Structure 1
Amino acid sequence: MEEEARCFLGKFVDEFPAALEEGSPLPVSPLSRKVSLEELHGESLELGLRLLAARGAPAILSALLCQAALSQLLQNDLSPFHCPQEAEANQEEEQRVVLLQSEAVQRLFLNKLIDLALAWHQTFLKLPPSTSRFRRCSVHAIKNTRRKMEDKHLALAEFNQLFGIQDGVERAYYAVFDGHGGVDAATYAATHLHVALSKQETLQSDASTAFKNAFQNTDDIFRAKAKRERLRSGTTGVAVLIQGQELTVAWLGDSQAMLVRKGQAVTLMDPHKPEREDEKQRIEDLGGCITFMGCWRVNGTYAVSRAIGDFDQKPYVSGDADCSTTQLFGDEDYVLLACDGFFDAVRPSMVPHLVLDALQQPGDTEGEGATPQKQSEEITGLRVAQQLVSHAKAAGSSDNITVMLVFLRPLEQLLSQDSSTETTQATQDSTSQDAPQQ
């Protein structure tokens, strides 16, 4: 890993031998033209990670560089980047929100990152040993037949390194967001939810409460942005935090996560749908209604009952997340996260078979020098999630589809477990055939 990091830093400083000049185009575009102080944390990290990932940086090095650059940025006087207040009649709330010129402040952030890369290249900082079990992640996403791709996802095995957390508790974060009415809400949630989670005081002691507060905080700060920029989109979402020996899942709407343990599907959650009896009752108690218009909809509009955004239908479309925590015992195979474009076409009980079928297929390799390890990496990098997405599409899904698998055990153990199961089943079948008829 250190040799890979050194090699990357060498190439990076060749491309960026000095700070970006004032007025020169940024090598990567910021998400927003204006950013609040509260949004600066998430948008800067997203920008830095995107820049480094596009150049093949090792994930742990990217996290450490971005965290260090952001820490330096926040020590600066940012008042020179403040946007002038707009003189409009309805600006009372905005006057309490300090907005920064995004391109200018992000140029400063990127220059901090470049300076750090130059310094680390000259006197290489020893990387901390990697102890994470959560490095193998298979993700695939398609627009499918929809006009636009409105899904977003994030896989963050380096959660602690990105936020400078050093409490000795191992953490990894994964999330899938299914936007509607535009991609803005999904992009916002993928940029800010994990940041809000990292700031919760109850993160280690009560992950469920931390997650609920993080979802609410993300919804609140997106409301301010939506008002400023007249955005109307929303997003469902499901996020998983693996913290020590606990797996906590939090969700809004009908995106889902499921666990597979010893080849068997384990239910982690019950998705929010307008027709779910308790959701229907909650909405009716608020004075709303559920109507069927091709599918069940809240007040005849949205086909989701909980989401970030959708402020024209709050509180009927609730921003309150639900959570559940599951203890991990070490015999778990993987956790799968996906949007409703997958789960509307594939039953959870089918997932273990589909995953094993994908794992058993030989990897696509190029050249005679391909090794079994390379084959394994190719499979985990794409094939498993890709095959699940293809199956959902073939089963009739026309929606955007995103599937993410986080493997919790080595693939060799999953395959040997399957062989053992088949042997046991064959023995049972043989015994049954040889037994005398009663």
Structure 2
Amino acid sequence: MAGDGESPAKCREPRRLRIESDGETSTRGEKRAGSGESPAAEKRTRTAGPEQETAPPKVAFGSVSLCGLSREMEDAVAVRPGFCRLPGGEPLHFFAVFDGHGGSHVSAMCRERMHELVAEEMGKAPAAAAGSKEEAEGWKAALGRAFARMDELALASCACGKAGPPMCGCERSGFESDVVGSTAVVAIVSRSRIFVANCGDSRAVLSRSGRALPLSDDHKPDRADELARIEAAGGRVIYLNGARVHGILAMSRALGDKYLKPVVISEPEMVVMERTQEDECMVIASDGLWDVISNKLACDVARRCLEDGAPSNGADDVARAVTESVTDSGEEQASSPRCSLAATLLARLALGRKSADNISVIVVDLKRGFGH
């Protein structure tokens, strides 16, 4: 969610929209998405399993972030192909969208740290047969622990960007830091499964045989089970421009938001989806997309962009733009033009439909780049 934060000068002019786009990655991540990892951090993400390779496999994806009509950019996108490996050496791929509110420092921190925490916790999961129920339960427990640790970091961080504890004591370390939070929708993709952990109202949707299958359920305050949980915790849902916790926050779960604890919780809901040959693509996005675009339309647009017979001129333009931006940053990345085009078209479509929020979209091609 976009906040009512400081000066609107950063991204106010509609004709000067800030676009960040990333394509297929063959290195440790996307510099444009603000990885900023140290060599030690990079090494940590490689140690979840005993068999390691020097570089992760290529993955077909594209991502875009638009400031849109909001005054501040508070979304963050993280894509980490091969961020960790199973004990047998199989790579796992990390895709996430974080939609900040009240400021951008929690979403930015999630972009930098969440994949590391997930890798660390998955490295602690008990050994289990590949594809077994025990393996799935171990992964779900690991994701839950990673979200809890990320929430602790968010609660102890300062709005100036310094992570705690202890708090830095600057002029922004009081209430201003207590009102900042972020959604988190994380998808972990293996050869056989997709794991999605969601906290907030960002969303992941799978396109399978032309059908749109939601992989997450938005945490809205007026969702029946969430409303009951909020009231049991002593909270209230007040309708002010939609349902809001205490009339303030338009979601019932989030990372951070210290002033709304324990009513607003960080515990994610998780979905485990077995992959099939009919899986076409996955769309992960912030509510800036989903507020104006249906699951079906998003999947239809993405799927058509990825089809073999789809026009490629626009895709080539996106690929060139991505390659140029990555080359300028010093990262070596090969573009995935059709995925980048799909993400860009979806974001532009949302903007054309008057989405008032930041818009961040990841499109993952499940037909190419992944073994079945």
So what's the TM-score if we normalise by structure 1?
A: 0.61
Q: Which protein has the larger Cα radius of gyration, Structure 1 or Structure 2?
A: 1
* 2:203 alignment partner in structure 1: 256
Per the alignment, in what secondary structure is the counterpart of residue 406 of structure 1?
Answer: strand
Any conservation in 2 of the 1:363–1:379 contact (CA below 8 Å)? no
* 1:202 alignment partner in structure 2: 125
The 5-angstrom pairing of residues 168-247 of structure 1 reads: 168-200=89-121, 201-202=124-125, 205=135, 206-226=138-158, 228-229=167-168, 230=173, 231-232=177-178, 233-247=180-194
Distance 1:365 1:68, change over 3 A: closer
Post-superposition shift, 1:61?
9.8
Any conservation in 1 of the 2:29–2:81 contact (CA below 8 Å)? no
Deviations 1:190-249 (A, max 9, x none): 111111111111287321111111001110122222471422310011000113411100
Per the alignment, in what secondary structure is the counterpart of residue 139 of structure 1?
Answer: strand
The one-letter code of the counterpart of 2:27 is A
* 1:318 alignment partner in structure 2: 265
Query: How many equivalent pairs are there?
Result: 293
Post-superposition shift, 1:379?
2.9
Per the alignment, in what secondary structure is the counterpart of residue 158 of structure 1?
Answer: strand
Per the alignment, in what secondary structure is the counterpart of residue 167 of structure 2?
Answer: helix
Post-superposition shift, 1:71?
7.7
1:61 & 1:147 partners in 2: Cα distance? 27
Deviations 1:377-434 (A, max 9, x none): 56325211000011111122110000101111139xxxxxxxxxxxxxxxxxxxxxxx
Relative contact order, higher structure (CA 8 A, sep 6+):
2
2:25 & 2:192 partners in 1: Cα distance? 29
The 5-angstrom pairing of residues 258-277 of structure 1 reads: 258-277=205-224
* 2:27 alignment partner in structure 1: 59
Q: Which runs of 5+ in 2 are unaligned?
A: 1-21, 45-51, 128-134, 159-165, 321-333
Q: Which runs of 5+ in 1 are unaligned?
A: 1-53, 75-126, 371-375, 412-438
Is structure 2 residue 345 aligned with structure 1 residue 390? no
1:219 & 1:61 partners in 2: Cα distance? 23
Per the alignment, in what secondary structure is the counterpart of residue 219 of structure 2?
Answer: coil
Distance 1:191 1:61, change over 3 A: closer
Any conservation in 1 of the 2:280–2:367 contact (CA below 8 Å)? yes
1:319 & 1:62 partners in 2: Cα distance? 26
Question: Residue 156 of structure 1 is aligned with which of 67, 80, 96?
Answer: 80
2:75 & 2:37 partners in 1: Cα distance? 26
Any conservation in 2 of the 1:160–1:166 contact (CA below 8 Å)? no
The 5-angstrom pairing of residues 32-431 of structure 1 reads: 58-59=26-27, 69-70=39-40, 128=53, 132=57, 135-160=59-84, 167-200=88-121, 201-202=124-125, 205=135, 206-226=138-158, 228-229=167-168, 230=173, 231-232=177-178, 233-359=180-306, 360-364=310-314, 379-380=337-338, 382-410=340-368
Instruction: Report percent identity of matched pairs.
Output: 25
2:186 & 2:360 partners in 1: Cα distance? 13
The one-letter code of the counterpart of 2:106 is A
Any conservation in 2 of the 1:155–1:174 contact (CA below 8 Å)? yes
Any conservation in 2 of the 1:358–1:387 contact (CA below 8 Å)? no
Any conservation in 2 of the 1:355–1:384 contact (CA below 8 Å)? yes
After superposition, the CA RMSD in angstroms is 3.4
Post-superposition shift, 1:353?
2.2
Distance 1:147 1:61, change over 3 A: closer
The one-letter code of the counterpart of 1:299 is H
The one-letter code of the counterpart of 1:380 is R
Any conservation in 1 of the 2:287–2:359 contact (CA below 8 Å)? yes
Q: Which has the higher helix share?
A: 1
